[in-house]
Chains A and B, each alone.
Chain A
Amino acid sequence: MGNNTAVKQALKANPVPSSVDPQEVHKWLQDFTWDFKSKTAKYPTKYDMDVNTREQFKLTAKEYARMESSKEERQYGTLLDGLDRLDAGNKVHPKWGEVMKLVANFLETGEYGAISGSALLWDTAQSPEQRNGYLAQVIDEIRHVNQTAYVNYYYGKHYYDPAGHTNMRQLRAINPLYPGVKRAFGEGFLAGDAVESSINLQLVAEACFTNPLIVSLTEWAAANGDEITPTVFLSIETDELRHMANGYQTIVSIMNNPETMKYLQTDLDNAFWTQHKFLTPFVGVALEYGSKYKVEPWVKSWNRWVYEDWAGIWLGRLQQFGVKSPKCLPDAKKDAVWAHHDLALLALALWPLTGIRMELPDQQAMEWFEANYPGWYNHYGKIYDEWRAAGFEDPKSGFCGALWLMERGHGIFVDHASGLPFCPSLAKSSVNARFAEYNGKRYSFSEPHGERQWLLEPERYEFQNFFEQFEGWELSDLVKAAGGVRSDGKTLMAQPHLRDTDMWTLDDLKRINLTIPDPMKILNWQPIQ
């Protein structure tokens, strides 16, 4: 490497006279700014970002465009030529083709949030190289919205069940899981201190969780017959490494200043928990419950990508500069084993609101779950067997998992910090429920880290949860209003099985006779003495 640098240095002394290397332009960027009286970050922040921080990839706008254009040509060329001729849309296992309706759209929400999150950092960063890097990220995130949308768009044109792929941007409004992604991605990336947002977006979501969400998910896709998603997602991820570097340099830009470094640990702990709280269960559900053909247990991917590599290579190496282990890490690890099983139970219980077709785990899947998560059958498998027997799939049964749970005293609540539903009496993850009354309103929390976030910053968490917003709606009316019905005007887009027979209609849903309740109102709540 030393020799090579020497060659480059020689080139510098005798430059090619008729062309300019992008990095020759990049080296002047730090001189593009100037000082003036009112110059400051325009959004509230605890930090002062160093004006001298560098950017690691040294791209100019034009070279960025050339590189990205090449990515686009390859990606759309594959989709529109190669995969089109292979009829790729109809080679996908339905379990996977269905879960991609949610995965592509939920990830799109993250990419969209990241546009504003990167704009926030572009404003707060003072170093021109960093600002240039963040602007490229803004544009990247537009690319990623376009790409994730294109997965739905492509599936909508080529897959045998376009319903839901075409209109998830509408259906998600009633999906009880959607506030979870809104909080982590749609708002955690952009509504708060720029550095806190950067840790959420770049250091945790991108540097940590996009590896399993975007990279290893492509293995599951390919195993299940989907070559569309790998074509797009692997190309998305080629931008993420620059974003990870952006996030890392955000930390570098504040680390040498003890005055601001003292705030870092709080933001790191909060951001890790905020992102983990949604991503650990969601990715696990998508991979393990959205696939027929399994690749490796989610908890093993989590151990590799999140714990050993991300925590070890990124955070572990920063310990010498004062970064400490997030206090929530042991709870996060427990969640890595069980939280996705907890969430899957609720997703299946609430299937009419998800907009996709899903099925209970079959015998083969149940054996796989038990082998990799010993104890799974006795806790979850038994319930699924009982649901199956009670007519879970049968449109004439009037069966609904959510009602089954409630009738047996297993209440479903919404965590007021993460926005996600939880069932305290059936959770095997780190759930440790607590309920509070404050200023005349009741709140539910699934664990102490979220409760702490609310107790310290109540004005940040004022949302109406699913039950509060739709209390009093009859289930089939709600699904219909939100666009969850097929073009025959009666068959539901969501289904509790994958067959093309016995499909549920609005009438079947009406038979369940469920009017959305607000558990915080109907149950008999008492103060704890």
Chain B
Amino acid sequence: MNNINGYNSGTNALSGQSFIDEFLDERNSALPTSESVVLALMKTEEIEAVIDEMIRPQMEDNPTIALEDRGGYWWIKANGKIVIDCDEATEILGKKYTVYDLLVNVSTTVGRAMTLGNQFIITNELLGLETKVDSVY
């Protein structure tokens, strides 16, 4: 399965001199534009459930989602947007789990991340420029 967002896709699929040649090629020397977002979730009890019950099922609908075990954390990359609804996570975990509890283990994001009520959203939209920073209240 070839996912454009895979951990070692694109230039990183190459190695040795061919990697370096491609990496330094003039085509790759200006700013690229990407429609993706990246998320790293620290491995914990709760995050394993979020990955299994909430992220993996989304992969069926969105084939651009790539998921990778990086030892201490899960690395996720996808086009567009990833939403984690913590009300749903609360149901799955059987305990109160707010968006700020999720943030305890969100190790990094590339893209615009925000909370919206009890949801965590990471999006490629330019919040505040293209779209508004929403609030449920």
Chain A contacts to B: CB under 8 angstroms: 1, 4-5, 8-9, 11-12, 21-24, 26-27, 53-59, 63, 66-67, 70-71, 74, 207, 210-211, 214-216, 218-219, 222-223, 230, 234-235, 237-238, 240-241, 244-245, 248-249, 252, 255-256, 297, 299-300, 303-305, 307-319, 321, 323-325, 329-330, 333-334, 336-337, 371-374
CA–CA, A383 and B133, complex, Å: 56
Q: Which residues of B contact A223 (CB under 8 A)?
A: 71
Q: Which residues of A contact B134 (CB under 8 A)?
A: 5
Q: Name the residue in A12, A59, A238 with the highest tally of chain B Cβ atoms < 10 Å from its Cβ.
A: A238
CA–CA, A369 and B52, complex, Å: 37
Partner of B20, one of A235, A237, A337: A337
CA–CA, A488 and B128, complex, Å: 61
Chain A residue at minimum C-beta to C-beta distance from B88 = A4
Is B71 in contact with A319, judged by CB distance below 8 angstroms? no
Is B72 in contact with A374, judged by CB distance below 8 angstroms? no
Is A54 in contact with B128, judged by CB distance below 8 angstroms? yes
Check A312/B32 contact, CB under 8 A, given A8-B136, A27-B137, A57-B115. Answer: yes
Is B72 in contact with A311, judged by CB distance below 8 angstroms? no
Partner of A238, one of B83, B107, B110: B107
Partner of A56, one of B71, B73, B114: B114
CA–CA, A237 and B106, complex, Å: 8
Partner of A374, one of B11, B17, B34, B105: B17
Let me know if B1 is at the binding interface, CB within 8 A.
no
Is A1 in contact with B119, judged by CB distance below 8 angstroms? yes
Is A316 in contact with B44, judged by CB distance below 8 angstroms? no
Is B129 in contact with A230, judged by CB distance below 8 angstroms? no
Is A234 in contact with B72, judged by CB distance below 8 angstroms? yes
Q: Which residues of A contact B44 (CB under 8 A)?
A: 74
Let me know if B64 is at the binding interface, CB within 8 A.
no
List 26 A–B pairs whose Cβ atoms lie within 8 Å, in order of A's numbering: A4-B119, A8-B136, A56-B113, A58-B114, A58-B135, A67-B100, A67-B103, A215-B107, A218-B72, A219-B70, A222-B71, A235-B42, A240-B108, A241-B113, A245-B113, A252-B128, A300-B19, A304-B12, A305-B110, A307-B23, A308-B10, A313-B38, A313-B111, A317-B34, A317-B124, A333-B28
Q: Which residues of A contact B136 (CB under 8 A)?
A: 5, 8-9, 11-12, 23
Q: Name the residue in B20, B23, B114 with the highest tally of chain A Cβ atoms < 10 Å from its Cβ.
A: B20
Is B16 in contact with A374, judged by CB distance below 8 angstroms? yes
Chain A residue at minimum C-beta to C-beta distance from B83 = A1
Is A374 in contact with B107, judged by CB distance below 8 angstroms? no
Is A241 in contact with B137, judged by CB distance below 8 angstroms? no
Task: Kindly provide the distance from the CB of A224 to the nearest chain B CB, expressed in whole angstroms.
Answer: 11
Chain B contacts to A: CB under 8 angstroms: 7, 10-12, 15-17, 19-20, 23-24, 28-34, 36-38, 40, 42, 44, 70-73, 77, 83, 85, 87, 100-101, 103-119, 124, 126-129, 132-137
* A-B CB proximity, top 8 nearest: A312-B34, A316-B33, A8-B136, A56-B114, A54-B133, A252-B128, A230-B72, A325-B31
Task: Kindly provide the distance from the CB of B33 to the nearest chain A CB, expressed in whole angstroms.
Answer: 4
Is A21 in contact with B36, judged by CB distance below 8 angstroms? no
Is A325 in contact with B30, judged by CB distance below 8 angstroms? yes
Is B115 in contact with A333, judged by CB distance below 8 angstroms? no
Is A312 in contact with B36, judged by CB distance below 8 angstroms? yes
Task: Kindly provide the distance from the CB of B28 to the nearest chain A CB, expressed in whole angstroms.
Answer: 7
Is B117 in contact with A8, judged by CB distance below 8 angstroms? yes
CA–CA, A398 and B24, complex, Å: 41
CA–CA, A315 and B73, complex, Å: 25
Q: Assuming A248-B128, A310-B110, what are 10 further A-B pairs, CB within 8 angstroms?
A: A22-B100, A23-B115, A57-B113, A57-B115, A238-B103, A244-B109, A245-B113, A252-B126, A319-B33, A329-B31
Partner of B110, one of A11, A21, A314, A323: A314
Is B100 in contact with A218, judged by CB distance below 8 angstroms? no
CA–CA, A181 and B20, complex, Å: 27
Check A321/B129 contact, CB under 8 A, given A311-B32, A312-B33, A313-B38. Answer: yes
Task: Kindly provide the distance from the CB of A233 to the nearest chain B CB, expressed in whole angstroms.
Answer: 8
CA–CA, A54 and B135, complex, Å: 10
CA–CA, A8 and B99, complex, Å: 14
Chain B residue at minimum C-beta to C-beta distance from A69 = B104
Q: Which residues of A contact B70 (CB under 8 A)?
A: 216, 219
Q: Which residues of B contact A299 (CB under 8 A)?
A: 19-20, 23
CA–CA, A316 and B100, complex, Å: 29
Chain B residue at minimum C-beta to C-beta distance from A8 = B136
Is B106 in contact with A230, judged by CB distance below 8 angstroms? no
Check A70/B101 contact, CB under 8 A, given A219-B70, A241-B109, A317-B124. Answer: yes
CA–CA, A51 and B112, complex, Å: 20
CA–CA, A21 and B36, complex, Å: 32
Is A255 in contact with B16, judged by CB distance below 8 angstroms? no
Q: Which residues of A contact B111 (CB under 8 A)?
A: 313
CA–CA, A457 and B107, complex, Å: 37
Q: Which residues of B contact A63 (CB under 8 A)?
A: 100
CA–CA, A394 and B85, complex, Å: 60
CA–CA, A244 and B85, complex, Å: 22
CA–CA, A334 and B77, complex, Å: 26
Is B119 in contact with A317, judged by CB distance below 8 angstroms? no
Check A56/B107 contact, CB under 8 A, given A23-B135, A303-B11, A319-B33. Answer: no
Task: Kindly provide the distance from the CB of B69 to the nearest chain A CB, expressed in whole angstroms.
Answer: 10
Partner of B108, one of A241, A248, A324: A241
Is A238 in contact with B36, judged by CB distance below 8 angstroms? no
Chain B residue at minimum C-beta to C-beta distance from A330 = B29
Is A215 in contact with B127, judged by CB distance below 8 angstroms? no
Task: Kindly provide the distance from the CB of A375 to the nearest chain B CB, expressed in whole angstroms.
Answer: 8
Task: Kindly provide the distance from the CB of A245 to the nearest chain B CB, expressed in whole angstroms.
Answer: 6
Is B16 in contact with A371, judged by CB distance below 8 angstroms? yes
Task: Kindly provide the distance from the CB of B109 to the nearest chain A CB, expressed in whole angstroms.
Answer: 4
CA–CA, A241 and B129, complex, Å: 19
Is A313 in contact with B37, judged by CB distance below 8 angstroms? yes
Is B107 in contact with A307, judged by CB distance below 8 angstroms? no
Q: Which residues of B contact A324 (CB under 8 A)?
A: 31
